[in-house]
């Protein structure tokens, strides 16, 4: 059967996966990488499910048998993982010993497949031409130069030559570039707490926060950046904060009250800490309003220990309420704190973020 373009792209990731069991989260990320509109399109989940169904029909993957291994929080349901068929083992005659540059000796001891030798041959040629003295460039620029495929290095990074540490991006004089988030600067009065970046998890709330921030700035409200974190991508995209002008002194986050909505800022905070950036802090006044006005929706109940760990990020005043919601199996979508709620008597709340 003929696969659609998205299914073909995902099939390439499946074929190159080092393990038989492949997390669908990684395939979803690959789908967004292939088509950026899938990051926000309402039909994105359905597009990914159709592509996975095509892979299954073609015998390239199999789905879990247990309903517990499916994400049922939204329609259509998505498997949490898929499994590719086992590869046939092909008997090989002993290959002649090869001599590699010193920087590739460890990789040479690992390599045993034709595709791995081809990669090492390419890297060898790069090093012999003075590659070690080249400036570091974005990964896809180097990937296109070396392999004629701008995404080849993205795929190679999950293979054993890289996961074993035998090959590194530094050796190839390149570096990963996080996908940037949408952000706009709203001029206003100086904020005594410093220049803030206010991030919304979902793009409808981002639009509301941006609109109300502009309205508040027009009547002497504070200037700040307002950004859309693109869901889970903000955990990596937070590294782009230093590219903003003026550079934020504070990173403030507002998302859903559910497990994913709390794990995203937790992960982003870890990334920010490693990068020497300001901590990712909760937009406390907006979360207070969400607990006041939020409409509870059903969700999978979370174990108390996990719920407590995720909710702790909200701070002492709100952590217990977040934990209670997760344990009870409910979620609070952030859209409950909407335009009308932020432009009535509570309008000045946004100034205090």
The pairing of beta strand 174-175 with beta strand 137-138: parallel
Give the per-residue pLDDT at 95. Answer: 55
Length of the chain: 353
Categorise residue 122: left if φ over 0, alpha if ψ from -120 to 50, beta otherwise: alpha
Are 165 and 193 part of one and the same domain?
A: no
Q: Which domain holds residue 146?
A: 102-175
Are 169 and 208 part of one and the same domain?
A: no
Q: Please report whether residue 198 resides in a domain.
A: yes
Read off the DSSP letter of residue 46: H
Give the per-residue pLDDT at 99. Answer: 86
Are 56 and 38 part of one and the same domain?
A: yes
Which residues of the chain, if any, have pLDDT below 70?
Answer: 1, 88-96, 345-347
Give the per-residue pLDDT at 90. Answer: 52
Are 255 and 347 part of one and the same domain?
A: yes
Are 206 and 161 part of one and the same domain?
A: no
Are 340 and 235 part of one and the same domain?
A: yes
Q: Please report whether residue 97 resides in a domain.
A: no
Q: Please report whether residue 135 resides in a domain.
A: yes
* Percentages (nearest 5) of helix, strand, coil residues in the chain: 50, 15, 35
Are 273 and 333 part of one and the same domain?
A: yes
Categorise residue 329: left if φ over 0, alpha if ψ from -120 to 50, beta otherwise: left
Distances (CA, A) of 119 to 107, 137, 164: 10, 19, 15
Give the per-residue pLDDT at 233. Answer: 87
Please identify which residue in the block is written with the tokens 């247990």: 66
Q: Please report whether residue 79 resides in a domain.
A: yes
What is the share, in percent, of the chain residues with pLDDT greater than 70?
96
| Residue 316 near residue 287, CB atoms below 8 Å | no
Give the per-residue pLDDT at 40. Answer: 75
Structure tokens at 3: 């696969």
Q: Please report whether residue 96 resides in a domain.
A: no
Q: Please report whether residue 286 resides in a domain.
A: yes
| Residue 220 near residue 162, CB atoms below 8 Å | no
Are 270 and 345 part of one and the same domain?
A: yes
Each residue's pLDDT tens digit, 224-243 = 999 999 888 899 899 999 99
Are 46 and 160 part of one and the same domain?
A: no
Count how many domains the chain has: 3
Give the per-residue pLDDT at 249. Answer: 96
Give the per-residue pLDDT at 343. Answer: 87
Between CA 35 and CA 57 the distance in angstroms is: 22
What is the share, in percent, of the chain residues with pLDDT greater than 90?
67
User: Which backbone phi and psi does 319 adopt, to 5 degrees?
Assistant: -60, -40
Are 267 and 346 part of one and the same domain?
A: yes
Q: Please report whether residue 88 resides in a domain.
A: no
pTM: predicted TM-score of the whole model, two decimal places: 0.64
């Amino acid at each position: 059967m003929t696969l659609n373009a998205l299914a073909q792209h995902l099939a390439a990731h499946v074929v190159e996966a080092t393990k038989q069991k492949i997390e669908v989260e990684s395939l979803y990320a690959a789908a967004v990488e292939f088509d950026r509109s899938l990051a926000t399109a309402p039909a994105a989940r359905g597009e990914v499910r159709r592509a996975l169904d095509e892979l299954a029909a073609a015998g390239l993957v199999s789905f879990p048998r247990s309903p517990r291994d499916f994400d049922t929080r939204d329609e259509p349901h998505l498997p949490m993982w898929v499994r590719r068929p086992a590869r046939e083992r092909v008997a090989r005659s002993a290959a002649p010993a090869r001599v590699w540059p010193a920087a590739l000796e460890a990789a040479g001891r690992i390599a045993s497949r034709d595709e791995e030798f081809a990669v090492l041959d390419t890297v060898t040629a790069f090093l012999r031409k003075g590659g070690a003295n080249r400036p570091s460039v974005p990964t896809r620029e180097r990937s296109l130069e070396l392999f004629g495929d701008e995404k080849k290095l993205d795929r190679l990074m999950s293979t054993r030559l890289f996961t074993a540490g035998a090959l590194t991006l530094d050796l190839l004089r390149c570096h990963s570039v996080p996908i940037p988030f949408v952000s706009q600067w709203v001029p206003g009065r100086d904020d005594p707490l410093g220049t803030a970046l206010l991030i919304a998890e979902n793009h409808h709330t981002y639009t509301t926060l941006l609109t109300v921030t502009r309205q508040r700035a027009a009547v002497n409200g504070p200037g700040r950046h307002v950004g859309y974190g693109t869901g889970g991508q903000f955990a990596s995209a937070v590294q782009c904060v230093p590219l903003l002008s003026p550079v934020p002194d504070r990173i403030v986050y507002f998302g859903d009250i559910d497990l994913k909505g709390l794990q995203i800022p937790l992960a982003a905070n870890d990334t920010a800490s490693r990068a020497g950036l300001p901590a990712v802090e909760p937009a406390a006044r907006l979360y207070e309003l969400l607990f006041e006005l939020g409409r509870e929706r059903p969700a999978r109940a979370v174990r108390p220990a996990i719920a407590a760990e995720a909710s702790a990020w909200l701070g002492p005043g709100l952590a217990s309420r977040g934990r209670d919601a997760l344990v009870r199996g409910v979620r609070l979508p952030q859209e409950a704190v909407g335009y009308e709620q932020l432009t009535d008597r509570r309008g000045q709340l946004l100034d205090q973020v």
